[in-house]
Copies of this chain bind each other. A is one copy, B any other.
Amino acid sequence: MTAQGIIYGIGLGPGDPDLMSVKARRVLERVDHLAYFRKRGAKGHARSIAAAFMKKSVSEFAMEYPITTELPPDSAPYRESLAAFYNESAAHLRALSNQGHEVGILCEGDPFFYGSFMHLYERLKDSQPIEVIPAITGMSAAWTATGQPITWGDDVLTVLAGTLPEEDLCRHIKATDALVVMKIGGNFDKICQALKDAGKYERAWMVEFASMEGQRILKLSDVSEGRKPYFSIIVVHGEGRRP
């Protein structure tokens, strides 16, 4: 009987290939099978971070999202479509592992922090050996880019998805010292309103494409309304104790 191959969740970090861990780089350079998510018709952002380090002979498995923003994420058709997609993807990876192949799954950011990888992990963890390699988060690259520490002393840090309702955003923003908002995209105007209502708009920064080509760091109050790039993160720095 063939031993099962290990499946690696390879955290690639925020985008700059130099910011992936030594361990992630080593596994990436070694595995014969690599899987990654991408939008239909796109090359895949995770793949582009990893490209320079993949074996020439590597076998690639591109997992293309069936839908992204066409359906509301709390609708049954959305859930069913994605569940089927994750089931099929996991079945393919399980077969590779059962044949004894090591497989790397490329993960943008940290695999266990709001990542699509988690949906494969839940489907594979009970039957296959899986190792998850943590990584630098996009938010870490964003606050580093602003040139200001995010949390001091006893500061509370809250991380919010911009997809939340405005009143939830506002309540959490009021209650925290330091703030990170992810998943901005089409939620930008709502997030700005919540920040204004919570009295933190003037202190907020937006970082686009943190650690990537095209990185931009802007005072939020200098940003015009409307949809923002997927790789945008809003940051409000804590102001806690500093001797």
Contacts and interface: CB of A to CB of B under 8 A. Distances in A.
Interface of A: 13-14, 16-23, 25-26, 73-74, 78-80, 82-83, 86, 110-115, 118-119, 121-122, 125, 132-137, 140-141, 143-144, 147-161, 163-164, 171-172, 175-176, 183, 211, 241-243
B21 A13 contact: yes
A242 B122 contact: yes
6 contacts: A13-B21, A114-B152, A114-B155, A134-B136, A151-B159, A158-B159
A150 to B, nearest CB: 5
Contacts of A150: 112-113
A243 B87 CA distance: 10
Contacts of A86: 243
Given A155-B161, A158-B158, A172-B175, A132 B144 contact: yes
Contact of A135 (B113, B136, B172): B136
Nearest to A148: B112
B118 A152 contact: yes
A143 B9 CA distance: 14
A128 to B, nearest CB: 13
B160 A156 contact: yes
Contact of A79 (B80, B118, B122, B243): B243
A168 to B, nearest CB: 8
Contacts of A141: 134
A126 to B, nearest CB: 11
B153 A156 contact: no
Contacts of A113: 140, 143, 149-151
